[in-house]
Structure 1
Amino acid sequence: MVDFRIHARFRTQPGVFPLLCVVLFVCSNGVAAADDPQLEKGKAIYAKQCADCHGNQGQGVPSVYAEPLIGDLAVSELANYISAAMPEGEPEACVAEDAEAVAAYIHQEFYSIIARVRNQPPTVDFSRLTVRQYRNSVADLVASFQWTNQFGNEQGLEGRYYKSRNRGKDNIAIERIDHVIDFDFGEAGPDPENIKDEQYVISWSGSIFAPKTGYYEFVVDSANGGELWINGGSEPLIDFRVKSGDQTEYRKDIFLIEGRPYSLRLDLNKAKSDKTVGIKLKWKPPHGPEELIPPYALSKATFPEWLIVETNFPPDDKSVGYERGVQVSPEWDDATTAAAIEVADKVLARLDSLIKVREFTEETEPKLKQFCVDFASRAFRRPLSDEVKKLYVDQQFEGAPDLAAGVKRSLLLTLKSPRFLFPYVGSSEFDDYDYAAWMALTLWDSIPDASLLKSAAQKKLVDGKDLQWQAERMAQDMRARSKVRSFFHQWLYFDHFSEMDKADEEHAEFTPELANDLRASLELYINDIFWSESSDFRTLLQADTIFVNPRIAKFYGLGEVDGPLFEKASFEPDQRSGLLTHPYMLAGLAYESATSPIHRGVFLSRSLLGRFLKPPPIAVTPTPPDLDPSLTTRERVAHQTAPVACKSCHGLINHLGFVLENFDEVGRYRTKEGAKSIDASGSYVSRDGEEAKFVGAEELSKFLVTSDEAHQAFIEQMFQYLTKQPIQAFGPEMLGQLHEDFQKNNFNMQRMLVQITLKSAQQRRQARQDQMAKSAAK
C-alpha cells in the first residue's frame, strides 16, 4: 500500500467519543528559549524527571509511554495537572513553581498547536479522489452531455388524475401537488363526479432527494396495479401491474448517491375488477426506519437519469475528522478498475440519449471519437493536447476490433488515468484549469462545469476577472448545498445518531420515526439559516425556533400542527438557544435513560471550540442511575471523573456538558432531576488561560457567538472539510485572514464558503509559483 500522508495531523476524529477518562499527554522537541529563565528551568526539570518516560523530544518511549506528548490545555491547566499527577507515582516531586516552569516549557516548545505547526509544518497532501468525489465526478461527467434542472421548493409530487386510461391533457380530472402518497379512495375513487370510467390512471411525477449515499428500499403498498420508476431507465424499479395472489406490497432496492434529486414516476392503474383504489409510497433510507416518503424529500421538478457508480470502494481515511484520499491500496486500485468497467458499460448502453448515436458505423465514427475526446477532456478538467488525444482516443480506436470496442477502450483508459484520479497534480504553474479543478473539488467534490471551463479557457480565473463571480455562482448550486449539508452532518455527529434508542418504559413515544423527524427538523433549521440572506453563524447558535410536524409537536407539547409539511414554530424561547438545544442534538448526545454531560461536553469542546482531545486510555462504564438514585447525573459524573488522571480533560469536558443538564435524554426541558434541582452552571478556560462562567444554554450560546476560539474552530473545520487538507498547510496567516473576513462580513457563512474557496486556490497558486522560483534559482 502506498501512503501519501507526509506529516502527522493535529486533530483526532471528531466523531470518536471519549467516555469517562482522558489522560493528558504532553510533548517536547527539547528546545527551549535560552533567554527565558523560567523556560530554562522547565527544560532542566523535564530532562531530569520526564524524558526517561516521554523521550528527550517528547516522541514517546515504546516500553513506557509510546504516544507522543500533545495536548490543548492552557499553561495554567497544564501546570495544575502536572502538580497533581506528575511524575507518575511521586507527584510531590514537581509542584508549585516547578510545575509551572515545566508546563511553560512543554507548552511553548512542543505541546501547543502553535509549537507543533512550527516544529513540523504540515504540507498539502498529495491526494487521489475520495469515494464521494469519484462518484460525484462520474455522475456530473456523464450528465454534462445531458440537460439539467434544479430541485424545486415545492414539497411533493405533481399528481395527474385522468378520467380514463387516456392520458391526454384534456382528459385530466385533477391536477395538483400531493405532498405524501398515502391515499385510500375506497370504492368511490378520488373524484366520483368527474372520474366515472371503470378504468383510469393516476400518475405522480417529479423527483426525490437522496440525503445519504447507500441503498434505498422503496415500498409500494396497493391493491391496484401500476409501476414505479426511480432515476429513469428503460425498466421500472417496481412493476406491480400483474398481481400474484393477494399480494399488495412490493419492495425493491436501488443504490443512490447523496445530495442529488432523482426522477420519480408512479403510475396507479384502476382496473375493472378493482373494488377499491388506494396506494402508499414508502422508503427505508440508509439512515432511518421505513416510512412514508416525506414531503421535504419530494419536488415536482424532473431530472434526466444520473449514472450512479455502484462499485464498492474501500473507505477513505477519516483519522483527522474529514475524508482524505491519501492511501492507494491494491483494493482501491481494483475498485477503480471495476468502477471504470461499470461506467463504460453503462455509458455504451445509453449513447443514444447522450449523443444520439444508435449504430456504430463509418458515418458515426467521427461523432463517437469526438464524444471520447469530450469525455476525456472533461474528466481531465482541461483540453487535451495532441499527444494526450492521440493516446487516449486515436490509438484506442486504431487498435480496436470495432467502433464499440474503441469507445469502451478510450473510456476505460480515461477513467483509470492519473489525470482523472489524481486531480491535485495539475500543471507546473497552477494555471486557470487548475483553478477551475480546485474550485470544483472544494465546492462540489466534482469536476468543473461548462461555465467554469469556459472562464478557464478565456484565462479569466488567474487574473481574477471572473473568479469572484464564478465562486459565488457555484456556491448557490445544488452540489454546493449538498457539500454544505454533508459538512454539517460531520460537524454535528449525525452519523453517530443513526440508532437513537430510548428506554421504552420511560419514553414509549420516542420512536425511530420521531428520531428521523427530529433529524429532518434540524436539517431544515440549518438549511433555513445557512441559505438565508444573512447566513449568520450567530443565529445558528441562538435562534429559538424549530421546524415541527405533527409527531414532533405532540411529543414536545407544541400544540396542534396540521402537517404533513414541517412548520417553523417558536420553541420555548426562554430556555432554547439554537442548535445547542435542538432535541435531535440533545437526544443524540445522551444515553437511553439518562443524559450524558460527557458526550455533550466532548461535542462542545471538539466541534464548537475546536479543542484537542485524545481518546481515553481506558473505557469506564458509567454508573447506572438506579445504582445510586440519590445522586443526580452531574454528581455521578463528577464522582467518576474525580481521579487526577481524568481531571486534565474532564475539567474541560464536564464543565461544558453540565451547562445542558436542564435538558433530559430526549431533549425536553426540566428544572429537576428526581427530587433535586438541576445545577446547570459551568465554565470554560480558553487556551490563553481566561475563564468564562455561565449558567444554562442561553448564557453558553452568548459566550460562543462572541468567542474567537468558536469562530476559528468553525472556520478551520469547514476549511478542512471543503479542501480535504489541513488549514495549517496553507500558511500561518490563513486562519487569521479568514477570521477577519468572517467578522467583517457579519459572520456570514455563505461568504465564508466563497472565501475559503478563493483564498485556498490563490494560496496554492502562490505556493506553486514560489516552488518554481526556487527550482529556477538552483
Structure 2
Amino acid sequence: MSKIPVQALAGHNGIVSTPQYEGRSLISPGDKRFSFGALIATGVAICLLLTACGEAPEPEVSGASELRVRLLTSEQYSNSIAHIFGSDISESVTPPLPPLPRKDGLLASGAAFVGLTSDQVSQIQQAAATIAAQVVDRNHRTYLVPCEPASAVKADDNCATEFIQDTGRMLFRRPLESRRLADLVAVANGAAEKTGSFYEGLALALETLLISPEFLFVMDRAEPDPDRPGALRLDAYALASRLSFFLWNATPDSALLDAAARGELHSEAGRAAAVNRLLNSPRLETGMRAFFDDMLAFDDFDSLAKDPIVYPKVTARALADAREQTLRTIIDHLLREDADYRDLFTTRKTHMSMSLAALYGIPTPQGWSPYEFDEDSHRSGLLTHVSFLAANSHAVRSSPTLRGKAMRELLLCQHVPDPPPNVDFSKLEDAGNVSTARERLKVHNTNPSCAGCHLITDPMGLALENFDGAGGYRETENGAALDISGELDGVFFDDIEGLGTAMRNHPKLSACLVNRLYAYGTGGPVSLRYDRDILKRFEERFVSNGHRVPALLKDLSMSQEFSAIRLPRLAKEKPEETNSALAERLIAGRQDFTTRRDQEEANR
C-alpha cells in the first residue's frame, strides 16, 4: 500500500510532489476538482520566506531547530476540533490519524517521520465530512456560523466568505491567502447552486479545509531574522502554533493568532505576555498531561493486558485508572504545587480510585480522591505506582530488566540496546518456577553478550521486586525471601526508598527532562551538533530555579532558540555514542562490581 511520506511535503524550494495521489478525490465520488495531491501541490509549500526565493543562508546557531513538517497527533486533532467547534463535535468522530513511531523517546518527535496510506486518507475525508455536516446542522450553525445567508437555498457570497475566512484562520492557524479564500468561496457557492442548499455548500468548503495539509500538518514556516543577519526564525504564525502545541497540545486560540498578526510574538514583552497567558490557562494541564503521557510511554496501556488467572484484580478499568493516577500526581505536584520535579520520585502523595484501591490493598475511596501512602506502605514516588510497575512487566510476572530499562530510557535518556539475536532464552527459563528473579538473572552475568546490558538495568530493577507484575506488594516470590538491594551508577541502596532517592538525585534526571521538553516543543529529536550547549544552559537554569517545571516551560518558550530555525541537512549527522560505552565499562568492571557489592553486604 502506497504512503505519502511527510518528508515529501518539504523541500528547500518549497516544491511539493505526491504524484501517486494525483486524481484521487477526497471530496466525493465523481467530483475530481480537488484531489489530495492537488491540494498539497497548491496549498502546502513550506513557505521559506527567503529573499528572492534563492539559496537560503545556513546559520551556525546553537539551538536552532531543524525546519520540519509534522502530522498532528490524534490528541492534537481532537483538541483542535474541540477548541474550534466544541467537544460534542470532537467526540463524535474517532481521530483519523495513524499511530506514530517513537523517535528518540517521544511519539511527538515521530510525527515528522510518518506517512499516510490511501485508507488513512479516506478516513480523514470521512471524519471531515462528519464534522462539517454537524457544524452546519440546525443544532450548531446558530453559533458556529457567524452570519445568516440571504437565502438558505441559494449561494451567499458574503456569508460564505465570512465563515470560511474566520474558520479557515483557526484551522490553518494563520489567515487564508486571498486566492485560497476565493477558491473556497467558489466551492461553497458552486455546491450551493447545485444542491439548492447554502449550508451544504458551506459544509463542502469546510470539508475541504479539514482535509487540507495546512490543517493536518504543523509546518515550520521560516523567515529571515532581522536581529541576526543570515539566520532564520519562525514567522509569527508558526511561532504561535509552536507555543500553543507545546503548552496546550492544541491549535492556537484567536487571541494568540491576534498577537501574531500584530507582530507581538517577536518582541520580548509581547511574547512574555502571550506565554504568561498560556501558562496561566487551565489548558496548560491538558498540554502537560499529553507531554508526560508521551514521555512515560503510557501509550503502551492501549494494548497492555495481564493474565486474569494470575492477576484477577487487574481489569481494563484498573489499568486505565493507573495511568490516570500517575498523570494526576504529576500535574498536582508540578503545576498546582509548583514543587521540585525530582520529588516526584519520593513523594507519597497521589490520588486513588475504587478500582486502584483493590490493587493497592487499601480502603476503597468513593470516586477519585487525594491519598497519601503511609510510611510503612513501601510506596513512595512514581516508581512504586501501579502504572510504572505493571507497564514494565510481563503478563504473568514482574521483570527487573524491563523496569530497569524503562528507568534508563524514559527517565535518564540513556539507550539500552536490544538483546543480541543469537540469545537462547530457553536457557534462562526457570522451568520449576521456584527461584527469585535475582537468582534467575544471575545466568546473564556468565554470558558476555548479555552481561553488559543487564548490569545497566538489573541492579536498579531488582530493587522493585517487592512488587509483582501487576504492581501488588509482596514479601516473597515462590516462597523465597526477596533481596531488594541494588545499585544505580555507583550509588548503593537497600530498599525501594533508596532507589527513589538515588533516582531523585541522579545527575541525568533533570537533564533528561530538559532534553525531552525541548524536543517536544520544537517538534523533533534534538541535534547534538546544534543543541548540546543550549540544552546544558537550560538545564543549569532549571536547577537554579529549584527544578520547577513552570519556570522551565517559560524559559524554553521565551528563548531565542525556541523560534530559531535551520534548514535540514541532506547528510546525516554522525550519531552520538550511545549507552554502549557505559555497557563496555560495566562489562570490563564486572569483577569490581561484584567485589564492591560483596563488601557492601558484609558491612550491613
Normalised by the length of structure 1, the TM-score is 0.56
Partner deviation per Cα, 1:585-627 (whole Å, 9 max, x = no partner)? 2233334553211111111111121111232233735855561
The alpha carbon displacement at 1:364 in A equals 5.7
Aligned to 2:144: 354
The alpha carbon displacement at 1:571 in A equals 3.1
Aligned to 2:270: 466
Aligned to 1:709: 508
Q: Distance in 2 between matches of 1:501 and 1:507?
A: 7
Aligned to 1:209: none
* 8 A Cα contact 1:396 1:409, kept in partner: yes
Aligned to 1:31: none
Aligned to 1:342: 130
Aligned to 2:372, the other structure's residue is in SS state strand
Do residues 135 (structure 1) and 137 (structure 2) align?
Answer: no
Report 1:672-683 matches (<5 A).
672-674=476-478, 676-683=480-487
Do residues 539 (structure 1) and 343 (structure 2) align?
Answer: yes
Distance change in 2, residues 1:393/1:642 (3 Å) = farther
Q: Distance in 1 between matches of 2:121 and 2:311?
A: 48
Q: Any gaps of 5 or more consecutive residues in structure 2?
A: 9-63, 225-233, 570-604
Q: Which amino acid aligns with 2:340?
A: D
Q: Distance in 2 between matches of 1:384 and 1:352?
A: 23
Aligned to 1:326: 113
The alpha carbon displacement at 1:449 in A equals 0.5
The alpha carbon displacement at 1:731 in A equals 2.7
Query: Which residue among 568, 588, 599 is the counterpart of 2:391?
Result: 588
Aligned to 1:627: 432
* 8 A Cα contact 1:307 1:346, kept in partner: no
Q: Distance in 1 between matches of 2:508 and 2:407?
A: 12
The alpha carbon displacement at 1:440 in A equals 1.7
Q: Which amino acid aligns with 1:596?
A: S
Do residues 480 (structure 1) and 284 (structure 2) align?
Answer: yes
Q: Distance in 2 between matches of 1:556 and 1:507?
A: 13
Aligned to 1:683, the other structure's residue is in SS state strand
Report 1:513-662 matches (<5 A).
513-549=317-353, 552-553=356-357, 556-558=360-362, 560-561=363-364, 563-572=366-375, 575-618=378-421, 620=425, 627=432, 629=434, 631-640=435-444, 642-662=446-466
Distance change in 2, residues 1:396/1:743 (3 Å) = same
* 8 A Cα contact 1:424 1:438, kept in partner: no
Query: Which residue among 488, 491, 494 is the counterpart of 1:684?
Result: 488
Q: Any gaps of 5 or more consecutive residues in structure 1?
A: 7-120, 144-261, 263-303, 686-690, 772-778
Do residues 748 (structure 1) and 548 (structure 2) align?
Answer: yes
The alpha carbon displacement at 1:553 in A equals 4.4
Distance change in 2, residues 1:621/1:466 (3 Å) = farther
The alpha carbon displacement at 1:510 in A equals 4.8
Q: How many correspondences in the alignment? A: 488
Do residues 386 (structure 1) and 178 (structure 2) align?
Answer: yes
* 8 A Cα contact 2:65 2:566, kept in partner: no
Report 1:406-555 matches (<5 A).
406-429=201-224, 430-497=234-301, 498-502=303-307, 504=309, 508-549=312-353, 552-553=356-357
Aligned to 1:446, the other structure's residue is in SS state coil
Q: Distance in 2 between matches of 1:395 and 1:511?
A: 50
Distance change in 2, residues 1:615/1:556 (3 Å) = same
The alpha carbon displacement at 1:378 in A equals 1.9
The alpha carbon displacement at 1:698 in A equals 1.9
Distance change in 2, residues 1:140/1:432 (3 Å) = same
Q: Which amino acid aligns with 1:725?
A: G
* 8 A Cα contact 1:316 1:325, kept in partner: no
* 8 A Cα contact 1:142 1:307, kept in partner: no
* 8 A Cα contact 1:351 1:357, kept in partner: no
Aligned to 2:265, the other structure's residue is in SS state coil
Distance change in 2, residues 1:545/1:122 (3 Å) = closer
Report 1:274-285 matches (<5 A).
none
* 8 A Cα contact 1:122 1:726, kept in partner: no
The alpha carbon displacement at 1:657 in A equals 0.8
The alpha carbon displacement at 1:405 in A equals 5.3
* 8 A Cα contact 1:502 1:591, kept in partner: no
> Greater strand share, 1 or 2?
1
Q: Distance in 2 between matches of 1:469 and 1:670?
A: 52
Q: Distance in 1 between matches of 2:377 and 2:519?
A: 35
Q: Which amino acid aligns with 1:137?
A: S
Normalised by the length of structure 2, the TM-score is 0.71
The alpha carbon displacement at 1:709 in A equals 1.0
Q: Distance in 2 between matches of 1:416 and 1:574?
A: 52
Aligned to 2:499: 700
Q: Which amino acid aligns with 1:611?
A: Q
Distance change in 2, residues 1:643/1:512 (3 Å) = same
Aligned to 1:466, the other structure's residue is in SS state helix
* 8 A Cα contact 2:136 2:144, kept in partner: no
Q: Distance in 2 between matches of 1:423 and 1:551?
A: 39
Partner deviation per Cα, 1:161-208 (whole Å, 9 max, x = no partner)? xxxxxxxxxxxxxxxxxxxxxxxxxxxxxxxxxxxxxxxxxxxxxxxx
The alpha carbon displacement at 1:535 in A equals 3.4
Query: Which residue among 356, 360, 371 is the counterpart of 2:163?
Result: 371
Distance change in 2, residues 1:124/1:678 (3 Å) = farther
Percent identity over the alignment is 24
